[in-house]
Structure 1
Amino acid sequence: MTIVWTELLVAGLVVAVGALVQGAVGFGMALVATPLLALIDPSWVPVPVLVVATAIGFAGWWRERDGTDWPGVGWALLGRLPGTALGTYLVVTLSPRVFTVTVALIVLVCVLVSFAPVRVRPAPPALLGAGVVAGVSGTAAAIGGPPVALLYQHESGPRIRATLAAFFLVGTAVSLAGLGLGGAVDAAGLLHGLLLLPFLLVGFLASGPARPLVDRGATRPAVLGLSALAALGLLAQGLFG
């Protein structure tokens, strides 16, 4: 297996930016990284993104673990199990072009839902539903954050970040296991994910000073806007590439 080093450096820069965003906001790694990595090469999605998502999930949870809403994490993970099965089916059965379009549409829907003015609280029924959607999108496109993040958007910064990090840590590991059982995980995907970890560490460490700014609501619109633009580019590639 040949590693294209220029491609790796570009992918690493994307992951570093995604880690900076997620470390500061609580989610955003996959929203930023998945569309851009798929534009570089579809082989970077979803397994390498799931590898780095698992790593940053642990790092983020450990840093602010005292703020974790464990009951909420449990309900969301319960919903993620059937969602993971459906997401695995999509990865195994869809053609590359259809998969690319599917990833783009998932990102766009997540971005649009994140702008919804309705205030939905993280109650068990809502968490179950969000967990199912996160399982599908997290496994098929490595984007599992927005459905659950939307429920916690009105909570404090540390609570959002710690709860989402715990959900990502367990949920992405479940998604990787589901893809492995479906035969969609190979050595190349795992190696690509491992090669991205140093870039992730740099971005995560840089996110520390940014957290107070994000807690005042300064960055979220920019994250969603970047994600929407990246998803539109990916959609264009899938439809016309």
Structure 2
Amino acid sequence: MTLTAFLVLSLVVGASAFIQGAVGMGFALIIAPVFGFFDASYLPVTLLILMLPLKFLIGWHERGAIDRIGAGWITLGRFFGTFLGMAVLVALSVRQLEIAVGLLTILAAVVALLSPPFKPTPSAAIGAGLFTGVTETATGIGGPPLALLYQHAPGPVLRSTLATCFLLGEIISLVILLIAGRIGLAQLLAAIYLTPAVLIGSVLARHVHSGINGPALRLAVLIFSIVSGAALVLKG
């Protein structure tokens, strides 16, 4: 990783961690296409590792608001989806991965923009977990299905429950990726270099998220995701 790439990625990672901490989603939707432009080999491993401290801090800070029953159903679906995601990752070349990340980013953002409100149920939670396991293990993107599931829940419930589900799911995905030999030194070093930016962004968000216009920031994240996803598809 060059110094320029490190500085740019640190800035983007820090801003994305801030947004995730403020509204409960956005980190992977922003970072995945940016990683795709710099070096698609960072996906999904570096992204998954960076999300571990981020999700732990968010979940721990608002741990009293976690929907534990819903998180249990989601994690069950996520476990089985991880194996399907591993199969998809093995089948994709770097160029195909760029295109897949771009298309999935666009699809996830459009669905998040247009989806009507609905109440989470055990079957919906398992389905969202299954889909998230596939997409996050293959590309690093998995937030929108769970964000849709809890999009009308109170902010603390959304942030803490999603953070807990992703923390557990990312550990499962990384264990499977490690066993499959898909984790390399370059990916680990990139994660180590960028972790301070994650910590800074998440700590800043903790102190100001109550005063942020969440819907406006969420809309901006989704619009950015659509544009960056389309650009990554064209690159691929």
Superposition TM-score tier, normalisation by shorter sequence: over 0.9
- Which letter maps to 1:158? P
Superimposed CA distance per residue, residues 24-77 of structure 1 (whole angstroms, 9 cap, x where no aligned partner): 011111011111111111122211110011110101101111110011111111
**Which residue pairs with 1:77 in the alignment?**
75
Moved more, 144-153 or 87-96: 87-96
Query: 2:181 corresponds to which residue?
Result: 183
Q: 1:16 aligns with which of 8, 14, 17?
A: 14
Give CA deviations for 1:127-158 in whole Å, capped at 9, x if unaligned: 11101111111111111111111010001001
Q: Which residue of 2 aligns with 1:153?
A: 151
Pairing 1:200-215 to 2, within 5 Å after superposition: 200-214=198-212
Residue aligning to 1:40? 38
The residue matched to 1:208 in structure 2 has which SS?
A: helix
> Which amino acid letter does the alignment assign opposite residue 189 of structure 2?
L
**CA 1:6–1:78 in structure 2 vs 1: closer, same or farther (change >3 Å)?**
same
Correspondence for 1:139 among 137, 140, 153: 137
Alpha-carbon distance in structure 1 between the residues aligned to 2:185 and 2:69? 35
Structure 1 residues 111-142: Cα deviation after superposition (integer angstroms, max 9, x where no partner):
11102242221110001110111111111111
Q: Residue 115 of structure 2 contacts residue 148 of structure 2 at CA under 8 Å; is this kept in 1?
A: no
Q: 1:219 aligns to what SS in structure 2?
A: helix
CA deviation map 1:212-231 (0-9, x unaligned): 24465231101101111111
Cα contact 1:157–1:215 (8 A) shared by 2: no
Aligned to 2:28: 30
Unaligned runs of 5+ in 2: none
Structure 2-normalised TM-score? 0.96
Q: Conserved in 1, the CA contact under 8 Å of 2:11 and 2:197?
A: yes
Question: Counterpart of 2:59 in 1: which secondary structure?
Answer: helix
1:230 and 2:208 correspond: no
Question: Deviation at 1:236?
Answer: 0.8
- After superposing on structure 2, the runs of 4+ consecutive aligned residues of structure 1 that deviate more than 4 Å are none
Q: Which amino acid aligns with 2:21?
A: G
Residues 186-232 of structure 1 show CA distances to partners (whole Å, capped at 9, x for unaligned) of: 12211211111101111112212441244652311011011111111
- Quote the Cα distance in structure 2 between the aligned partners of 1:41 and 1:187: 14
Q: Which residue of 2 aligns with 1:60?
A: 58
Larger mean CA deviation between 210-219 and 153-162 belongs to 210-219
**Distance across 2 between alignment mates of 1:210 and 1:105:** 32
Please give the alpha-carbon distance, in whole angstroms, between the structure 1 residues aligned to 2:91 and 2:230.
23
Q: Secondary structure at the match of 2:175?
A: helix
Check the 8 A contact 1:69/1:159 in 2, yes or no: yes
Question: Is the CA contact 1:92–1:182 (under 8 Å) kept in the aligned structure 2?
Answer: no
- Alignment size in residue pairs: 236
- The CA distance in 2 between the partners of 1:124 and 1:171, in whole Å, is 17
Instruction: Return the alpha-carbon distance in structure 2 between the equivalents of residues 55 and 85 of structure 1.
Output: 23
TM-score normalized by the length of structure 1: 0.94
C-alpha contact 1:64 1:158 (8 A) present in aligned 2? yes
1:4 aligns with 2
CA distance in 2, matches of 1:129, 1:216: 26
Question: Which structure 1 segments of 5+ residues have no match?
Answer: none
